[in-house]
Chains A and B, each alone.
Chain A
């Protein structure tokens, strides 16, 4: 078994030698043609979730905060264009797990990853990876909506502008498309110039989703995206996740079992061991995890018989 040790010094001073954006794009989206063709067919026949190509893969991944091991030897393959739910008790490392796919943990001093983490076959902790480019390919929606202190319009336009989209009409088009996709367009189309953080919490969260879509990622990580929202907003975002799941690889952390059951096709259950390191207990189709779990701890957690 290969056990690649990728340790990264969290030293932002030295810009990472970069795999060029083009090369990275090629690697990350090499599979696009085939799948788009399949989806574009009249009756899109998607293979069952477990049989889809792997988008994100880890092998014996461990994550440390200093001396504390937060995740232990996680080996998993997340299928692309699928909603995968991550469940587990508070503190078992779900957020840490999620954040290792867009290298958000890099921002935490003395956070350290061991093992293999790949996206479409690219080892994302390789020294040559351009982290900014990776984060464009792997978008993230946070637990608390965090619009940038800009207008609604500029929040969405931020990503495209960074890519070099300057043309006003193009930007207008992107803004409308992403807001529509995030089911927010009708509510905000008349006030695009208003500050994004003057929207309601649920609207802000949809704005954050729209903003993520505007970057055109392949993967979207969502860390308890509905935990600060009312039931109506939650429902809308759940519908949104299901829709987006046809096009995007979505990883969603949730504490809500019904939500996991409703929106996801695959489910990963993480659990804390004695030493508080999180480990992957079970990973499989959501229907099986929920109706026929292989592990006792999974069953206990799902049915609520859990400390």
Chain B
């Protein structure tokens, strides 16, 4: 008896340890990669900041690293990024929320089974396709009907199309949050004579609010990090503006531009890739931290 107990135990422990090791290995890989990326970003950025002061970088309003005289004020790139991502989220947040409400509260099962995969296909379309869609379809459409004077590369159509692109992220995460709202809560409201609309807006939405906010923030950080679409459709003109009809350049689009240009290593222009990348990283990190804070702060116990 005792031996059986002991041997079983040992075998068990051996198996446990192997599983433990595999899981640990997997997480070490992802952690190590992250640490490596941050390390490279930081160390290369430090060299940049030997050449340009952090203050000038963060507060400068002119970004002309490729011309003479070179200016390294990152605000025009930040403005371009915020502008495009802002337009995107203005489109994606309400549409995503309404889609989610519709799917989780209104749509019959059959309809949901058709629409959900379609949304997932939308999420799977390569971003380059969205870019050309913005450039060759949305921009001409806007020029034709609304804004005849708008130039071909502009923040507006890039932002609108990016909004469409992130709708699936926002709606599917929002819907998950709504489906997690227990049925008993819906029943409570229905039993008090609430209509479907009231249940959706006053019970389910508040109960899922933390998840909804997280979905929007995730969509926003996706928009901030999106590269291909803005490179194609938003232009390459670093400009400190919040006018959506103008051509702008986002941080990501700038990094692409310089990475593909013939930039000798060691020059200030080369290091801007890392400093702009670092700032981008800090921005999305801040969004995610904000998201988690909001989730914790607004979580509704049910």
Name A residues whose Cβ lies closer than 8 Å to a Cβ of B: 10-13, 102, 104, 107, 109, 132-133, 135-136, 139-140, 142, 144, 146-149, 158-159, 162, 195, 197-198, 208, 211-212, 215
Residue of B nearest to A197 (CB): B301
Given contacts A132-B194, A159-B193, A162-B194, contact A146 B301 (CB under 8 A): no
Choose one: B106, B182, B198, B302; the contact of A162 (CB below 8 Å). Answer: B198
Is residue B300 within 8 Å, beta carbon to beta carbon, of the partner chain? yes
Task: Please tell me which stretch of B78-86, B127-135, B183-191 contacts chain A, meaning at least 4 of its Cβ atoms lie within 8 angstroms of it.
Answer: B183-191
Is residue B203 within 8 Å, beta carbon to beta carbon, of the partner chain? yes
Is residue B116 within 8 Å, beta carbon to beta carbon, of the partner chain? no
Given contacts A136-B193, A162-B193, A215-B192, contact A104 B198 (CB under 8 A): no
Residues of B within 8 A of A109 (CB): 108-109
Q: How far is the CB of A193 from chain B (nearest CB, A)?
A: 15
Is residue B43 within 8 Å, beta carbon to beta carbon, of the partner chain? no
When chains A and B are docked, how far (Å) is the Cα of A102 from the Cα of B191?
8
When chains A and B are docked, how far (Å) is the Cα of A190 from the Cα of B186?
28
Q: How far is the CB of B101 from chain A (nearest CB, A)?
A: 12
Is residue B195 within 8 Å, beta carbon to beta carbon, of the partner chain? yes
Contact sample, A vs B, 23 pairs, CB 8 Å cutoff: A10-B108, A13-B106, A102-B191, A104-B187, A107-B186, A132-B193, A136-B192, A136-B193, A142-B191, A146-B184, A146-B187, A148-B185, A148-B188, A149-B300, A158-B192, A159-B193, A162-B192, A162-B194, A195-B301, A197-B301, A198-B301, A208-B188, A212-B192
When chains A and B are docked, how far (Å) is the Cα of A140 from the Cα of B185?
13
B192 and A135 contact, CB distance less than 8 A:
yes
A107 and B193 contact, CB distance less than 8 A:
no
Residues of B within 8 A of A10 (CB): 108
A149 and B207 contact, CB distance less than 8 A:
yes
When chains A and B are docked, how far (Å) is the Cα of A148 from the Cα of B181?
11
Ordered nearest first, which 5 A-B pairs have the shortest CB separation? Answer: A136-B193, A140-B191, A146-B184, A146-B188, A135-B193
B185 and A149 contact, CB distance less than 8 A:
yes
Residue of A nearest to B301 (CB): A197
When chains A and B are docked, how far (Å) is the Cα of A158 from the Cα of B184?
16
Residue of A nearest to B185 (CB): A146
- Chain B 95-125 per-residue mask, 1 if CB under 8 angstroms from chain A, else 0: 0000000000110110000000000000000
Q: How far is the CB of A185 from chain B (nearest CB, A)?
A: 20
Q: How far is the CB of B213 from chain A (nearest CB, A)?
A: 16
B192 and A107 contact, CB distance less than 8 A:
no
Residues of A within 8 A of B244 (CB): none
Q: How far is the CB of A215 from chain B (nearest CB, A)?
A: 6
Given contacts A132-B195, A149-B301, A197-B301, contact A107 B184 (CB under 8 A): no
When chains A and B are docked, how far (Å) is the Cα of A160 from the Cα of B56?
60
Choose one: A102, A132, A144, A159; the contact of B184 (CB below 8 Å). Answer: A144
A148 and B191 contact, CB distance less than 8 A:
no
Name B residues whose Cβ lies closer than 8 Å to a Cβ of A: 105-106, 108-109, 182, 184-196, 198, 203, 206-207, 300-302
Q: How far is the CB of A171 from chain B (nearest CB, A)?
A: 15
When chains A and B are docked, how far (Å) is the Cα of A136 from the Cα of B194?
8
When chains A and B are docked, how far (Å) is the Cα of A13 from the Cα of B109?
13
When chains A and B are docked, how far (Å) is the Cα of A10 from the Cα of B196?
12
Residues of B within 8 A of A136 (CB): 192-193
When chains A and B are docked, how far (Å) is the Cα of A16 from the Cα of B184?
23
When chains A and B are docked, how far (Å) is the Cα of A57 from the Cα of B206?
38
When chains A and B are docked, how far (Å) is the Cα of A135 from the Cα of B109?
24
Residues of A within 8 A of B109 (CB): 109
Choose one: A149, A195, A197, A215; the contact of B206 (CB below 8 Å). Answer: A149
A197 and B302 contact, CB distance less than 8 A:
yes
Known contacts A12-B105, A104-B190, A139-B191; 18 additional CB pairs below 8 A are A11-B108, A13-B106, A109-B108, A135-B192, A135-B193, A136-B192, A136-B193, A142-B184, A142-B191, A146-B187, A147-B188, A158-B189, A162-B192, A162-B193, A162-B194, A197-B301, A197-B302, A212-B192
Q: How far is the CB of B182 from chain A (nearest CB, A)?
A: 8
B106 and A107 contact, CB distance less than 8 A:
no
When chains A and B are docked, how far (Å) is the Cα of A181 from the Cα of B149?
69
Choose one: B182, B186, B192, B196; the contact of A211 (CB below 8 Å). Answer: B192
Residues of B within 8 A of A132 (CB): 193-195
Choose one: A11, A159, A198; the contact of B192 (CB below 8 Å). Answer: A159
Q: How far is the CB of A52 from chain B (nearest CB, A)?
A: 25
Residues of A within 8 A of B301 (CB): 149, 195, 197-198
A146, A159, A162, A198 pick with most chain B CB within 10 angstroms: A146
When chains A and B are docked, how far (Å) is the Cα of A136 from the Cα of B186?
15
When chains A and B are docked, how far (Å) is the Cα of A136 from the Cα of B302?
23
Residues of A within 8 A of B184 (CB): 142, 144, 146
Q: How far is the CB of B299 from chain A (nearest CB, A)?
A: 10
Residues of B within 8 A of A195 (CB): 301
When chains A and B are docked, how far (Å) is the Cα of A148 from the Cα of B194?
12
